[in-house]
Amino acid sequence: MLEIKDLKKRYGRFQALDGLSMEVGDGELYGFVGPNGAGKTTTIKIITGLLSADSGSVTIDGVDALRDRRILKQNIGYVPDFFGVYDNLKVGEYMEFFASCYGIEGLTARKRCASLLEQVKLEEKKDFYVDGLSRGMKQRLCLARALIHDPKLLVLDEPTSGLDPRSRVEFKEILKELCERGKTILVSSHVLSELSEQCTGIGLIDQGKMVMQGSMDWLLSKVNTSNPLIISVLDNRERAVAILRSHPACRPSP
Ligand SMILES: Nc1ncnc2c1ncn2[C@@H]1O[C@H](COP(=O)(O)OP(=O)(O)O)[C@@H](O)[C@H]1O
Ligand SMILES: [Mg+2]
């Protein structure tokens, strides 16, 4: 579905992306994980056509997306890290406005919007002002908006940061359902554990480079064995060892 090769981007003298490559297969829920400043937003802005790369390639189903912006816009739905919503519109009006931006009008638009609002569990909020929605609801509305032109690939930049725990779980459930319905999803986060349950594949980025990429199971096995925790105890050593041994996440070192 999405293939990125040797992507480079400089901001002045600062090399934000330094030869980043990654591959997202059809139907994957792909977690794009890295610390703040790693280059996630820069990568996502290039994929979505908002920023130009210095060099490298981005292909969507084999088509050069950096050259053919129309193909890119047809195929990608984007949920940015900071988004504005139009406060003086009702939820239904907001959706129909964005539908009309894609040339979807009338009954088709109303049906599409109703179906999307149902998918993000906002069908009952159709006649509410966007202004009055909670942050989690606004985030889900933004997701519905990104799906309006039925894109193959959905790209979300840290969608769960700033949400309360319940809204996070709800949001991740919706992403999983969308993936089961056939969407390919790329979602970024600076917390690996935030995505590890849902994702089929994962890419770890640091300082503008892909550090590790693969299936979630493969990655967790690597992280577990190559990154042991060293714990020093001041007292009651036997007791501490017994408690640690009883924990399901602990394994004796080889
Ligand atoms: N417009 C910009 N001008 C200069 N530096 C930038 C700009 N945007 C991002 N950067 C820098 O590029 C690096 C990568 O940023 P970003 O892609 O936003 O990372 P992430 O989303 O992983 O936190 C950071 O060090 C950031 O400070
Ligand atoms: Mg970012």
Question: How far does the centroid of ligand 1 lie from the alpha carbon of residue 83, in Å?
Answer: 17
pLDDT digits 0-9 by tens, 169-211: 888 889 999 999 899 999 999 887 777 778 889 999 999 999 9
Q: Which two tokens stand for residue 119?
A: 């998918």
pLDDT confidence band for 224 (50 / 70 / 90): low
Any ligand 1 atom below 6 A from CB of 189: no
Any ligand 1 atom below 6 A from CB of 50: no
Question: How far does the centroid of ligand 1 lie from the alpha carbon of residue 21, in Å?
Answer: 18
pLDDT confidence band for 16 (50 / 70 / 90): very high
**What's the CA gap between 77 and 137, in Å, rounded?**
18
Any ligand 1 atom below 6 A from CB of 163: no
Give residue for tokens 């610390």: 35
**What's the CA gap between 74 and 230, in Å, rounded?**
49
pLDDT digits 0-9 by tens, 116-167: 999 999 999 999 999 888 888 998 999 999 999 999 999 999 998 888 888 8
For residue 39, which atom of ligand 1 is closest to its CA?
A: 17
For Cα atoms 103, 106, 109, give the angle at the middle one, nearest 5 degrees.
Answer: 65
**What's the CA gap between 118 and 126, in Å, rounded?**
10
Question: How far does the centroid of ligand 2 lie from the alpha carbon of residue 246, in Å?
Answer: 38
In this predicted model, which residue has the larger pLDDT, 196 or 115? 115
Any ligand 1 atom below 6 A from CB of 205: no
**What's the CA gap between 174 and 168, in Å, rounded?**
10
Average pLDDT taken over every residue of the chain: 88
8-state DSSP, 234: S
Give residue for tokens 């179906």: 115
Ligand 1: residue whose CA is nearest its atom 3: 11
Residue-range domains of the chain with CATH: 2-214 (3.40.50.300)
Question: How far does the centroid of ligand 1 lie from the alpha carbon of residue 39, in Å?
Answer: 6
**What's the CA gap between 148 and 85, in Å, rounded?**
15
Any ligand 1 atom below 6 A from CB of 38: yes
Question: How far does the centroid of ligand 1 lie from the alpha carbon of residue 17, in Å?
Answer: 9
Q: Which two tokens stand for residue 230?
A: 């060293």
